[in-house]
């Protein structure tokens, strides 16, 4: 059944998901705060800053007016970086109160909030009043916008404690090249999504330094161990970390040149300065901020996250990457399952 869907956020992922939902037959309105971008999407079906050379469906409509986007929508998909999520959620909450609407909320944000260490669904459940929303579903998994845009085969997870809402999201997004599984473990899905970006920066960095396949496999595997440790400490199901929103997303992000986090790490490994890498990316590098939040959270909770800690010292205290790697390798020898 065709649904009316508002998509908030027209960056690489929001715009490609909006396009896919349009092609799935839904009535989609894409919201962006950027007037020029909206005009170009509506008139030329292009969004070159975020998806160079990709031509969007002529049926996809965009607007800078959030109220117009949301009016009549029974689903709101939020695809905003962690840093801007509360600002957008608060604005949405005011609009939903005015419109007396109660849509299903789906989000695709991958990160943890600075200082509070909250997951995106926790932020949304605080800023969107219960009378203005149904359940909150997390859409997560190995899904670079660039691959979905060219209809490459992709599989992701729709996670929600309310499994019927997860199933609703599953139906909306699924098609011949995009397969959605359900999961009821929101905590695991969101920790996996946020923390894999840290390891992806690390994987890029070691490749930028000239290390090879063994090093990357070691980093991914031991990265997964510490992602799982932190997630489980907060109540995640350990099985979720061997699923799409865990190892799946970790593998794609830590091995793909499409990954903003991997590319950032690669440039750092080649000696570029963090501020220059951020300035030149032109898109969000969530892992830079998640590294700080996860490092602080792991210390507070007394969970061992040696790779995250090493990257924190590199990104925030200016430690030389080679020194950080030596320190990681020289730690006391230990058992794999600790
Ligand atoms: N790119 C991908 O392949 C995937 C990304 N994700 C996740 O999705 C989220 C979004 O990523 P992505 O699309 O890549 O990000 P981009 O950097 O490509 O785009 C971010 C979008 O969010 C908008 N935005 C940022 N802050 C605000 C704000 N305060 N108010 C209104 N709009 C805002 C930007 O608007 P403006 O242009 O005006 O700055 C832009 O449209 C991230 O958490 C990311 O980890 C998840 C899966 C895949
Ligand atoms: O989450 C993603 C793919 O699943 C996108 O990762 P990047 O932000 O590193 O490009």
Q: Is the CB of 226 under 6 A from ligand 2?
A: no
pLDDT at 138 over 90: yes
Which CATH number do you get for residue 36? 3.40.50.720
Arithmetic mean of pLDDT, 52-80: 98
Rounded distance from Cα 331 to ligand 2 centre (Å)? 30
pLDDT band at 3 (very low <50, low <70, confident <90, very high): very high
Q: Is 252's C-beta closer than 6 angstroms to any atom of ligand 2?
A: yes
Domain containing residue 227:
195-329
- Confirm whether 128 is domain-assigned: yes
Domain co-membership, 159 together with 210: no
Ligand having the closest approach to the CA of 79:
1
Pocket of ligand 1 (CB under 6 A): 9-14, 32-34, 50, 79-82, 84, 87-88, 108-111, 143-145, 283-284, 286
Instruction: Give the Cα separation of 327 and 331 in Å (integer).
Output: 6
* Alpha-carbon torsion, ordered 118, 120, 124, 130, to 10 deg: -90
Output the pLDDT for position 173: 98
- Whether residues 168 and 29 share a domain: the answer is yes
Task: Determine what percent of the chain is predicted with pLDDT higher than 90.
Answer: 99
For residue 158, the cross-strand partners are: 139, 182
Residues 154 and 246 grouped into a single domain = no
For 81-96, write each residue's pLDDT tens digit: 999 999 999 999 999 9
> Catalytic residues, which ones?
196
Closest protein CA for atom 27 of ligand 1:
84
Confidence of residue 1 (pLDDT cuts 50, 70, 90): confident
* Mutate which of 202, 249, 251, 285 for ligand 2 pocket (most atoms within 8 A of beta carbon): 249
Mean pLDDT across 188-209: 98
Report how many domains make up the chain: 2
Q: Is 284 annotated as a binding residue?
A: yes
Q: Which of 111, 138, 252, 266 to mutate to test the pocket of ligand 2 (most atoms within 8 A of CB)?
A: 252
Q: Is 33 annotated as a binding residue?
A: yes
3-state secondary structure of 336: coil
Region 239-243: mean pLDDT is 98
**213 and 270 belong to one structural domain:** yes
Within a domain: residue 337?
no
How far apart CA 299 and CA 292 sit, in angstroms, is: 11
Decide: residue 260, CB within 10 A, 0-12 exposed, 13-18 middle, 19+ buried: buried
226 with 107, same domain: the answer is: no
Q: Domain check: are 317 and 238 in the same one?
A: yes
144 within ligand 2 shell (Cβ under 6 A) = yes
Which of 291, 303, 261 has the alpha carbon at shortest distance from 112? 291
Residues 200 and 176 in one domain: no
- Residue 46 inside a domain? The answer is yes
Cα of 165 vs centre of ligand 2, distance in Å, is 24
Asked, for residue 118, whether it belongs to a domain, the answer is yes
Is 4 annotated for ligand binding? no
**Is residue 338 predicted with pLDDT exceeding 90?**
no
The CATH number linked to 231 is: 1.10.1040.10
Domain assignment of residue 189, yes or no: no
Q: What is the mean pLDDT of residues 18-41?
A: 98
| This prediction's pTM | 0.98
Residue at 175 is within a domain: yes
Q: Which residues on neighbouring strands pair with residue 75, listed in sequence order?
A: 5, 104
What distance lies between CA 135 and its chain's CA centroid? 19
Atom 8 of ligand 2 has which residue's CA nearest to it?
260
Residues 272, 288: Cα–Cα separation, whole Å: 14
Q: Is residue 220 pLDDT above 90, yes or no?
A: yes
Q: Of 184, 219, 241, which marks where a domain is finished?
A: 184
**78 forms bridges with which residues in the sheet?**
8, 107
């Amino acid at each position: 059944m065709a649904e009316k869907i508002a998509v908030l956020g027209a960056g690489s992922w929001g715009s490609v998901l909006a396009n896919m939902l349009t092609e799935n037959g839904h009535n989609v309105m894409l919201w962006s705060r950027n007037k020029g971008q909206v005009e170009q999407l509506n008139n030329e079906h292009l969004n070159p800053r975020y998806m160079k050379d990709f031509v969007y469906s002529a049926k996809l409509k965009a607007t800078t007016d959030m109220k117009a986007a949301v009016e009549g929508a029974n689903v709101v998909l939020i695809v905003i970086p962690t840093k801007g999520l509360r600002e957008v959620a608060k604005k949405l909450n005011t609009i939903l109160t005015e419109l007396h609407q109660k849509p299903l909320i789906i989000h695709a944000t991958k990160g943890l909030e600075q200082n509070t260490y909250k997951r995106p669904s926790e932020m949304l459940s605080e800023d969107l009043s219960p009378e203005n929303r149904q359940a909150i579903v997390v859409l997560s998994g190995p899904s670079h916008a660039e691959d979905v845009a060219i209809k490459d085969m992709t599989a992701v997870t729709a996670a929600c404690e309310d499994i019927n809402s997860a199933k609703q999201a599953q139906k909306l997004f699924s098609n011949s090249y995009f397969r959605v599984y359900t999961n009821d473990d929101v905590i695991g899905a969101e920790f996996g999504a946020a923390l894999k970006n840290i390891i992806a920066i690390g994987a890029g960095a070691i490749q930028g330094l000239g290390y090879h396949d063994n090093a990357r496999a070691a980093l991914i595997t031991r990265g997964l161990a510490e992602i799982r440790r932190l997630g489980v400490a907060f109540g995640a199901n350990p099985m979720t970390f061997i699923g799409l929103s865990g190892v799946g997303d970790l593998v794609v992000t830590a091995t793909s040149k499409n990954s903003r986090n991997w590319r950032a790490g690669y440039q750092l490994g080649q000696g570029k300065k963090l501020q220059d890498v951020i300035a030149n990316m032109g898109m969000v590098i969530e892992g830079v901020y998640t590294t700080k939040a996860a490092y602080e959270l792991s210390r507070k909770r007394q969970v061992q996250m040696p790779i995250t800690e090493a990257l924190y010292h590199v990104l925030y205290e200016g430690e030389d990457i080679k020194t950080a790697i030596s320190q990681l390798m020289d730690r006391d020898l230990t058992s794999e399952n600790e």
